Amino acid sequence: MVVFENGKPKKSHYRKFKIKSHDNNDDFASMYEVVKRRCNYLVDKKNKESSFSQKPDLIIIDGGKGQLSKSFHALLQLGLADIPIISLAKREEEIFIPHQDNPLIIDRKSKPLFLLQRIRDESHRFAINFHRNLRSNNSNKSILDSIDGIGAAKRKFLLKHFGSVNNIRQTPDSEIALLKGFSKKLAKKIKENI
């Protein structure tokens, strides 16, 4: 989720949401969940210090009629149907508005459309960076991380010394036990778990 104020990004209010309600790639359900979680702060009177306590002037959904419909439904359930909400479909740059069958088409060279595109593109950039970081963090994980007694320093040392987990598998535990900071017991545990 990105936030723009006076036509400019307000990065301190950007948020990342990990979807909790389902495991598969259901874009409609994801939009519903995010809008509901974000706007729930407006009805929950306990959370007034959050950036979420500010009522948006406009919610822009990346997508078409389906995404808009689910997002608007979340607002309805929270009693916040007075918040303006639209969706912007990338293919034809169509703007969908609740309860209107036909999309609004804005001149492709207009400043309002340019602003909407900037907001959408910024949300894509933010999401892509988030997913890249998640993948990068997951790629740094190793089977060694699940072994009790192997912390980040020992994992790094083992991988540097042997070159790979596969090479560690092929090394006798007696050889691993000779390494500084390793015992026969830990070496045996490593060999049993990789």
Range of the domain at 165: 143-193
pLDDT-based confidence at residue 110 (cuts at 50, 70, 90): very high
The reported pTM is 0.68
Looking at the structure, do residues 17 and 70 belong to the same domain, yes or no? Answer: yes
How is residue 127 written in tokens?
């999401």
Ranking 14-23, 95-104, 106-115, 127-136 by mean pLDDT, the lowest is: 127-136
Residue 55 carries which DSSP code? P
Same domain, 12 and 81: yes
Q: Distance between CA atoms of 166 and 187, rounded to whole angstroms? A: 15
On the question of pLDDT at 48 being above 80, the answer is no
- DSSP symbols for 81-146: TTS-EEEEETTTTEEE-TT-SSPEE--TT-HHHHHHHHHHHHHHHHHHHHHHHHHHHHHT--GGGG
Share of the chain above pLDDT 70, in %: 92
90 and 111 within one domain: yes
Q: Can you give the CATH number for the domain in which 81 is found?
A: 3.30.420.340
pLDDT band at 147 (very low <50, low <70, confident <90, very high): confident
Same domain, 23 and 107: yes
99 and 153 co-located in one domain: no
Packing angle of the helix pair 65-77, 27-43 (nearest 10 deg): 30
Residue 51 has pLDDT above 90, yes or no: no
